[in-house]
Amino acid sequence: MSNLILAIDTSAGTSIALVKDGVVLSARSTPDTMRHAEIIGSFIHEVLTEAGIASHEVTHVAVGMGPGPFTGLRVGIAAADAFAFGSGAILLPMNSHDAIALEFLDTNPENNVVVTTDARRKEEYVSFYTGLDDEGCPIRAHGPAIQKPGEYIVTESAYVQATEVPATWLGVLAERMLVAGRPFLPFEALYLRSPDVTMSNGPKRVVQEMRGGQK
């Protein structure tokens, strides 16, 4: 049976792709980090329409679990989870940096590469790879981790600073992992630190009193 994979990543920009048996059928992508929720639905609709694929034909949904900022990352994860539930597809949680590494290493399979994406707060997410394995999957030797720019240095390595994660390569990697029988990540976002906004501990005393609470 052919694998028809919808790949979704919002750990940096927003990127959507439809991949069948390792071949990209259609894709949409933008590095914009402010409009994930506004465009993700239309992007999914456009890639399916362009490829002439109905949602129930999708067999798997590959979703980048980060590393990435809390707000943007959860948009893609929620969309992937909802689509998989509605279509009956199998959800495949994945490391977003692995897709960036594969894009570089696919034509340089024996090279080393350091992948970084913006973590904000004057920090970056970092992962280090030492080429591809026999199944064409990136070998991650370090990370993902949060570090200061330039703090993680590996000699004789290429450095890729990505502004978005290519869903095309996320889908291709998911296909390779499925064929090779590789395990996927748990369904848990790689935030790597607490979100910028924390949940409230409840209404303040003055609010409680206005609602009839005790002083």
Query: Could you state, in order of their start, the residue ranges of all structural domains in the chain?
Result: 4-180
The model's pLDDT over 114-140, given as tens digits with 9 standing for 90+, comes to: 999 999 889 999 999 999 999 999 999
Q: Output the CA torsion sign for 119, 123, 128, 132.
A: positive
Name the percent of the chain lying above pLDDT 70.
90
Q: Which pLDDT tens digit goes with each residue over 25-62? A: 999 999 988 888 899 999 999 999 999 999 999 999 99
The model's pLDDT over 154-201, given as tens digits with 9 standing for 90+, comes to 988 999 999 999 999 999 999 999 999 999 999 999 988 765 555 556
- For the question of whether the overall pTM of this predicted structure is more than 0.85, the answer is yes
pLDDT of residue 35: 87
CATH 3.30.420.40 is held by the domain 4-180: yes
pLDDT confidence of residue 204: 52
Confidence tier at 212 by pLDDT (50, 70, 90):
very low
